[in-house]
Amino acid sequence: MDGGIQRDSTGGASVIDGASGYLGIDLGALARNYEKLAAEVAPARAAAVVKADAYGLGAGRVAEKLYAHGCRHFFVAQFVEALRLRPLLAADAAVFVLNGLQPGNESACARENIVPVVNSLEQWHAWSGMAKTLGRTLPAVLQFDTGMSRLGVPPEERAALAGLVSAGGCIDVLFLMSHLASADDAESEQNEDQRAEMERVAAEFPGFDVCFANSGGIFLGKAYHGVLARPGIALYGGAPTAGRANPMEPVVSLDVAVVQTRSVPTGTRVGYGASHVTPGPARLATIAAGYADGLPRSLSGRGAAFCDGVRLPIVGRVSMDSITIDISALPEGRLALGSRVEILGPHQSLEDVARDAGTIPYEILTGLGQRYRRQYR
């Protein structure tokens, strides 16, 4: 689908609705990635992590597509995300809040049929107190810290929580969970350490199912799957395991519009701080995206755009709203005002951009701004 795009005289394309570029989101690829992950963990089930607005791609559209392909468990990070997502899903879909609840959100959580992930005794007491106030049972997930020291009930609180759970009451514990810290590194010893610790947790809380694997954990084997896996980055086309071929289909493409082209002589200073000086005559193009659009300043002098499969290096510093690229390798006239160059696509993956920026694909994906025209297909 090419809505909102018109071809220009150079054979490129321009964005006609005022956007700085064109962000393509392939919902078909998203669905196929979910089905692949679901097949990998079967007979366990696969959830979907749709926090941060589905990694920046639109939680409503993403969740709707995944629901149509059988997903019934959706994880967000913050309660406000759950409030926005819950009305968009059918009643048989569960929405979980990974960070649990801030004080005062318990009543709204119960009213909106949202499930908190309990990370501490304090959160347990607040949620059970709400259940007693309402005079009904409320669902929850119990998260345990198995070695990441970020979220979850710490080891020293497990005995007290086990006593509260075994005493019964108004909380329906749906399952136990933890989060793998190094699952993208299949050789990391921490994976086995955390798996063993999760087994100890399960023994201390008998009778409850386990939710353990994230994207990378899915490919560590069935010992990590539990009854429900929680893929995130892999759904959106990111590589679940570093250093291995990516089994997922790309979901996102990004083309950015050209603002201006020019020919410059040897010795021309380019960008803020004159960080680049042309070593010879060059042709340059300025494109309409910068670090405000999710293309980090660290791409300066390292990253690139592509056109017709030709790499066009970034020269000078990435600005807030623009980037300058060297287009000398292209035929003269190939790019003009309104033409588009590829930032993410068949010639440059999320992993490529992240590597050049010295960061991770998650940061690139979630940082893509709102000035692009989004096209779901």
The residue annotated as part of the active site, out of 34, 67, 236, 272, is 272
CA-based radius of gyration for the chain: 24
Q: Which helix (H) or strand (E) holds 170?
A: none
Bridge-based pairing state of the strands 94-97 and 115-118: parallel
Torsion of CA 280, 282, 288, 291, to 10 degrees: -20
Collect all residues with Cβ–Cβ distance below 8 Å to 55 and sequence separation of at least 6.
Answer: 232, 233, 236, 362, 365, 366
Burial of residue 279 (CB within 10 Å: 0-12, 13-18, 19+) is exposed
368 in Cβ contact with 22 (< 8 Å):
no
- Distance from chain centroid for Cα 108: 26
To the question of whether residue 130 is assigned a binding role by annotation, the answer is: no
* 22 in catalytic set: no
* 65 in catalytic set: no
The residue behind tokens 């940082």 is: 367
Token pair for 347:
């010639």
The residue annotated as part of the active site, out of 34, 51, 65, 236, is 51
Torsion of CA 364, 248, 232, 291, to 10 degrees: 10
Burial of residue 264 (CB within 10 Å: 0-12, 13-18, 19+) is middle
Provide the residue type at 214 as one letter.
N
Q: Which of 260, 259, 188, 254 is nearest to 224 (CA)?
A: 188
To the question of whether residue 320 is assigned a binding role by annotation, the answer is: yes
Looking at residue 193, what DSSP letter applies? H
171 in Cβ contact with 137 (< 8 Å):
yes
Token pair for 136:
């009904």
**Residues making up the chain, counted from first to last:** 377
Q: Which of 140, 163, 365 is nearest to 248 (CA)?
A: 365
The residue behind tokens 């040897």 is: 266
Bind-site residues for substrate: 150, 320
**Positions marked catalytic:** 51, 272
Q: Which residues are annotated as a binding site?
A: 150, 320
